[in-house]
């Protein structure tokens, strides 16, 4: 596996998936593709979707992030995986300034991030496993735009990344159109359900769960001593 | 242990414990009953107290939470334990809408929660071990209103749960009146202490610690080289 | 190692390091001295620098923090290490009131903190490994103003502590003047770089990385199938 | 909750459950009652079952273990919970010698253990969350023979504890006879299944899973490109 | 993503990689492909290499492992990923008996394993993230022989898995021949180096590091006070 | 902080502390100086004591360990701290061969170790935070024989390190003689206590605890319902 930068990647269309949010997209895809929940936004409220430019980095080394900037286009989301668990602050204000200048929407990094106050003020969103001021070196090569595992999910360059306060989900390129459509439908359906539940209807009835529960063996008793 | 739902439980009275907060109630009870500190509010500022409706759930499965909704009354707090460590997003906006419609005050769940932005906007408070969009199935039974261990504390149905930004504490039913009274007293006492400390009096003097420290062998030296 | 309180310590001058922040100071010192990233502020936005008064505490016991208050002077930062990993809430509103009355700037504690809402309202900043209401006893001695390891860093009394939303860094007394000066320079340099990056110049060019990357063996290919 | 020692407890009969082991007993009880998997034996190969004498300890303090020794009888298993997460070495060779002299079968402790080499040589089995030489004090009271949560399970005095290389499971007193009988049956059944599987029969057929899998929607394809 | 079982997969040849072991193969591949170090053997000493049959499982559910058994051939290694972090004991003696009957070499599972004593006696090797008796259900579908992320590495069906006491590494199918050859060479080279080091030659000299160290700025001083 | 190697360090005498073991030495020193319990031996049974040669390493980089070998003398113990949490396999068979050739007793490393089978066969003892085959680079300088924090303890070059199956403790140079003598006494005392406890005498009586327990408020009741 030679260190390599792939210049041209096929970028999927996000089909408006930022509107539906992570939980809905994740359900629409069949409950796969979600990054581990240790990935948290460094400031709340951002909600984005876009194609991934990927980076494979080494622990304590952010050289390849500098390399990746040049490969980014407006609307992209930079996704950084690391060859080993590492929380060092590989990304901060200067890199964010550079990505922002190129129209990149945000960063997803399975490592640390620093300058969080400045990034919040810039409104540049980052999802990371840690906040850490630990500085990094520029000494060892990795790769750009190769498949990387980031927080438990395999990300191919150009896959759609959706991120909000609930976390980060990845939609493979070939499924993007289908998932966007399913997410749109789920979203539309939820309004009606919300109204019914808000009016006091029980999920047990709305989803017709009572029969299945009884069949599975659930027993109702009146008092604790009847258990 | 058959899967069971207990319909009628005895609910203790919280005696105004939401006013005193978790730290004070925990001290008033003799420093027991506190859930592990990984239980964090998904948004800051809420402070509640009320009787527990309990759920024992399986990992990756929120079926029993749907069952539990029907057993809740206004003022209740839903408490969900899980048979194994799990961070899946068992709870989101729709279930919150349903609980809110029944007057439930909030949720304490030893698993994950999703739709955190919507829950914050609804002002529905949740204390959880994780935020995760990971969807769950409805396939395996658990129980409702049986004793459950949640984040290291055994919770009996009807016990009083107190939760705020400091965490979650559980007061057994039979101690609720006594603890509420002790908490009220501690709270009243603290005002005076705060004023004395704010005026510059030392805790060493206010609590008469100097003699006990000397007896225990504490030595004061003037300079580092005297150590 | 007898329990001891050292009364007179030499306090270094922070030389304005609060202005530059943790990441800049950490870089200026050569990327050492940073506390582990589990140390997080209990509320965002504070940025302080000052000499350390140190405490060595036992798990579940905050007796020595009460002792340490008396040794604090205006501008100090209290630093608490613990002989074993512990998340108990050793510090809360009353101790904060006392420290505040003495002009102490803030607390760095490798254990838990409670009353976080009140501390936020008081604007008393704390960096801790956990928020926990777990009460502590006053039973076992430790020491004040001896060297302590706090979150992975050895802190000598009087060393300069710098803390902000990125974490906590410690500058040894003998390096304080030199590091403050280097931090000032780095800070001045960053403005120019930020402007160049914001205008679209690439870090690859600004830092002259292209030659070193090629020499290290980085290869650019046009398409994924060329890898 | 006053510190208390209960002298007389009702001890359940283990009904030979040590023979069946933890996994079988846990299944026989309906997949509940298992301690968290961080509880590991300090040496492999021990397999025990017996009634619990319980201890509630404070972090860094083993005073109540000394108190509990007197309450133990031959065949008992000592179970220690702690009011907060703690890995200190609360138990070592001297306490083991004392328990051994009283015929106690072993220790289950949600904290640390030390002198592991000596305990192995004595063949005194311990399940703990950590090995740690960290010494503890004898300063703060807890209780003996009250219900305690140990590694996520509520243990009542006299409940049956079963422990082996797979972990630790707790059987409530009132279920001990029923669970022992079910475990005996499961164990007897397993021999036949093992033989069939060893001869090459598939679990898919032995358990009649094919129809349910098809009904749930599982699809078989011949080649990856058919997915 | 529909639940699917792929029947025919292309299996790479391991080229004797079990002989060289994980560390050597990992180096030969350019220091990528290593599973996270939480993957540990349940008993020491096994060293295997073979093509992967992959399983994507849901938390607390081992249904798809039963399905996967039928797809295994002699020499295969079963690799189980899970959609979320889970330590439940998805695998035990009966499944091992079944895999053993089919000639499967071992199991790599990013979840829990039980019956560890029996598996050790059978000499069936397992690398897992936990030992846990926690029983699982057979309720939710996953897939067999699709790409899965296991402990941080993306595994394609038929990729070569190498596992020993140092951990688990995965070699992509298309690189198997090349990596096996490089590993053979590294292994051959190491003998000579070992002899030179054993005779007292320094790595500093054998690897010609002194010049690079000096160029990088390393300074030697005679005494601590010269620092 | 310039990268530096200090050639001449003062080595303390271990005074036979390997005989007493970690738990006894730790108690003799007043219950400080113990490394965190995540430091575990890679094979059981070794018990060593000797002066520390220290290394400060960067994550994923073992260059400075190669440098440190030259500074080691017979009887030394190499102690490696890292500037950030890292589990990479910085040490393996070749480095062990080199240290063994120089008479070094063992390694204590706050990072990962690999080739564990070979190290066990060589009987070269290592205490580490992880076993990992992850290879490291030789790109960034650190220092040798400067003070380093290793697993929560500040280690000065020449301090005495004691390590066995219970963990690792560090005795500062200036306390080595005193601690060795105290450890010898404790060890001698323990024999008598062990005999008394083995004969059935209770610790409650041997340590005269009953009065202190009563004074602290411990209450004995006959039955659970009396609580």
- Model pLDDT for residues C48-91, shown as the tens digit of each residue: 999 999 999 999 999 999 999 999 999 999 999 999 999 999 99
**Please, which pLDDT band fits residue A1 given cuts at 50, 70 and 90?**
low
- Cβ contacts of residue D32 below 8 Å, gap of 6+? B1, B56, B83, D26
Task: Tokens for C110, please give them.
Answer: 């490798």
Answer yes or no: is pLDDT of E116 > 90.
yes
Q: Does E140 touch chain B (CB under 8 A)?
A: yes
Q: What is the pLDDT of residues D66-76, one digit of tens each?
A: 999 999 999 99
Q: What is the pLDDT of residues C149-168, one digit of tens each?
A: 999 999 999 999 999 999 99
Task: Provide the 10 A C-beta neighbour count for residue E111.
Answer: 28
Distances (CA, A) of E121 to D20, E39, E43, E93, E96: 16, 21, 10, 10, 11
Please give the interface size between D and E, counted as residue pairs whose CB atoms are below 8 Å apart.
Answer: 120
**Please, which pLDDT band fits residue A78 given cuts at 50, 70 and 90?**
very high
B chain contacts of residue A197, beta-carbon cutoff 8 Å = 94, 97-98, 101
Task: Tokens for F184, please give them.
Answer: 């010898």
Q: What is the pLDDT of residue E4?
A: 97
Determine the longest span between alpha carbons in chain B, in angstroms: 69
Of F154, F153, F155, F159, which is closest to residue F177 (Cα–Cα)?
A: F159
- Tracing tokens 């929380």 back to the chain, one arrives at A87
Q: What is the pLDDT of residues B166-216, one digit of tens each?
A: 999 999 999 999 999 999 999 999 999 999 999 999 999 999 999 999 999
Q: What is the pLDDT of residues B8-54, one digit of tens each?
A: 999 999 999 999 999 999 999 999 999 999 999 999 999 999 999 99
Q: Give start and end residues of each alpha helix (H) in chain B.
A: 17-28, 63-69, 93-101, 116-122, 176-198, 203-206, 210-216
Give CA torsion, residues C75, C81, C87, C88, to 10 deg. -70
**Please, which pLDDT band fits residue D226 given cuts at 50, 70 and 90?**
confident
Task: Tokens for E91, please give them.
Answer: 């695998």
Residue of chain C minimizing CA distance to B201: C98
- Chain D contact probe: residue of F19, F213, F215, F225 with most D CBs at under 10 A: F213
Task: Tokens for C164, please give them.
Answer: 């902000």
Q: What is the pLDDT of residue B227?
A: 86
C chain contacts of residue B207, beta-carbon cutoff 8 Å = 66, 138
Q: Supply the pTM of this predicted model.
A: 0.97
**Please, which pLDDT band fits residue C208 given cuts at 50, 70 and 90?**
very high
Residue of chain B minimizing CA distance to A46: B117
A chain contacts of residue B97, beta-carbon cutoff 8 Å = 194, 197-198
**Please, which pLDDT band fits residue C1 given cuts at 50, 70 and 90?**
low
As a whole number of Å, the end-to-end CA separation of chain E is: 61
Answer yes or no: is pLDDT of B1 > 70.
no
Determine the longest span between alpha carbons in chain A, in angstroms: 69
Q: What is the pLDDT of residues A2-53, one digit of tens each?
A: 899 999 999 999 999 999 999 999 999 999 999 999 999 999 999 999 999 9
Q: What is the pLDDT of residues E1-26, one digit of tens each?
A: 689 999 999 999 999 999 999 999 99
CB B141 within 8 A of CB A49: no
**Please, which pLDDT band fits residue A65 given cuts at 50, 70 and 90?**
very high
Of the candidates C88, C139, C140, which has its C-beta nearest D84's C-beta? C88
| Measured distance CA(C36)–CA(E104) in Å, rounded | 43
E chain contacts of residue B61, beta-carbon cutoff 8 Å = 60
For chain C, which chains pass the contact test of at least 3 CB pairs under 8 Å? A, B, D, F
- State whether C154 and F149 contact (CB < 8 Å): yes
Average pLDDT for D214-223: 96
Q: Do chains B and F touch (3 or more CB pairs under 8 A)?
A: no
**For the stretch D69-95, what's the b/e string if a residue is b when 16 or more beta carbons lie within 10 angstroms of its beta carbon?**
bbbbeeebbbbbbbbbbbbbbbbbbbb
CB A55 within 8 A of CB A72: no
* A130 three-class SS: strand
Q: Taken in order A190, A191, A197, A201, is the CA torsion positive or negative?
A: negative
Main-chain phi, psi angles of A18, to 5 degrees: -65, -30
Residue of chain F minimizing CA distance to C85: F36
CB E34 within 8 A of CB F134: yes
Q: Does E216 touch chain F (CB under 8 A)?
A: yes
Answer yes or no: is pLDDT of D1 > 80.
no
Task: Tokens for A69, please give them.
Answer: 């900037």
Main-chain phi, psi angles of F93, to 5 degrees: -60, -40
Q: Does D186 touch chain E (CB under 8 A)?
A: no
- Chain A contact probe: residue of E152, E156, E173 with most A CBs at under 10 A: E152
Of the candidates A1, A32, A147, which has its C-beta nearest E1's C-beta? A32
Tell me, rounded to whole angstroms, the distance of Cα D39 from its chain centroid: 8
Q: Does B69 touch chain D (CB under 8 A)?
A: no
What is the average pLDDT score of chain D? 97
- Chain F contact probe: residue of A84, A90, A130, A141 with most F CBs at under 10 A: A84
CB D169 within 8 A of CB E133: yes
Q: What is the pLDDT of residue F227?
A: 86
């Amino acid at each position: 596996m030679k260190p390599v930068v792939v210049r041209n990647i096929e970028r999927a269309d996000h089909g408006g998936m930022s509107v539906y949010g992570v939980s809905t997209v994740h359900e629409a895809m069949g409950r796969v593709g979600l990054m581990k929940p240790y990935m948290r936004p460094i400031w709340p409220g951002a909600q984005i979707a876009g194609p991934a430019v990927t980076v494979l980095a080494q622990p304590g080394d952010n050289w390849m992030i500098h390399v990746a900037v040049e490969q980014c286009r407006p609307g992209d989301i930079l996704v950084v995986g690391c060859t080993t668990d590492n929380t060092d602050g590989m990304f901060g204000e200067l890199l964010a300034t550079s990505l922002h200048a190129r129209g990149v929407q945000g960063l997803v990094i399975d490592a640390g991030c620093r300058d969080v106050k400045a990034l919040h003020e810039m409104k540049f969103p980052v999802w990371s496993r840690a906040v850490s001021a630990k500085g990094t070196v520029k000494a060892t090569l990795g790769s750009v735009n190769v498949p990387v595992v980031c927080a438990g999910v395999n990300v191919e360059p150009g896959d759609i990344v959706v991120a909000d306060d609930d976390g980060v989900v990845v939609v493979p390129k070939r499924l993007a159109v289908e998932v966007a459509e399913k997410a749109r439908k789920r979203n539309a359906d939820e309004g009606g359900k919300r109204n019914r539940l808000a009016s006091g209807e029980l999920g047990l009835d709305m989803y017709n769960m009572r029969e299945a529960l009884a069949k599975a063996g659930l027993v109702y008793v009146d008092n604790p001593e009847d258990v």
